[in-house]
């Protein structure tokens, strides 16, 4: 991967379908209200603002795909989890997984 690819996050795309079929967790980091208004079946909701305090249900041996409304909060959640040793991927908008 070139320097520019790394800066602009270009490179191989993550195969989210494969990750999910192999047991990855879909973690929705939107607010509880947003989640109640609509979410992907079998996803887990931990709002990004609570994530640092509510990791008890996440297992480090299972990959995690974070989602939100646009990809901004899921990016923040990805950084939080990666810094704690989780295998984590930013899935962007939850609507990509409907």
Catalytically active residues are 68
Calpha distance 74→93 (Å, rounded): 8
Calpha distance 49→45 (Å, rounded): 12
Q: What is the CA radius of gyration of the chain?
A: 13
For tokens 């994530």, name the residue: 51
């Amino acid at each position: 991967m070139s320097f520019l690819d790394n800066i602009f996050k270009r490179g191989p795309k993550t195969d989210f379908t494969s990750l999910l079929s192999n047991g990855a967790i879909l973690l929705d980091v939107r607010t509880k209200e947003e989640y109640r208004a609509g979410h992907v079946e079998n996803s887990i909701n931990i709002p990004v603002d609570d994530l640092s305090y509510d990791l008890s249900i996440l297992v480090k041996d299972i990959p995690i795909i974070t989602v939100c409304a646009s990809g901004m909060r899921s990016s923040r959640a990805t950084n939080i989890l990666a810094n704690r040793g989780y295998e984590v991927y930013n899935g962007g908008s939850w609507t990509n997984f409907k």
